[in-house]
Amino acid sequence: MLKVTLALRCNVCGGEQFMLPSPADTNEDIRCADCAAFKCKSDDLERTMAAAPRAAGPVRASL
């Protein structure tokens, strides 16, 4: 899993950090890093990120 800060907010706790599945991970669910609430599938995320303004800043990723 990859923990990233996204220009999104958790529907449950308002957190901006999410756990993304690694390429080797068969689980495609994206979950909140704080409360583990289900967020969306990665294809939905891609759509959301594509719609998000670039001014929101770069995605900071760390392992």
Give the residue with the Cβ less far from Zn ion, 4 or 10: 10
Instruction: List residues near Zn ion by CB under 5 A.
Output: 10, 12-13, 15, 32, 34-35, 37
Helical residues (DSSP H) of 1-63, grouped into ranges: 42-51
Answer whether 42's CB lies under 8 Å from 30's CB. Answer: yes
Give the residue with the Cβ less far from Zn ion, 8 or 10: 10
CA distance 5 to 61: 7
Residue 32 Cβ, how far from Zn ion at the closest point, in Å?
3
Give the residue with the Cβ less far from Zn ion, 6 or 10: 10
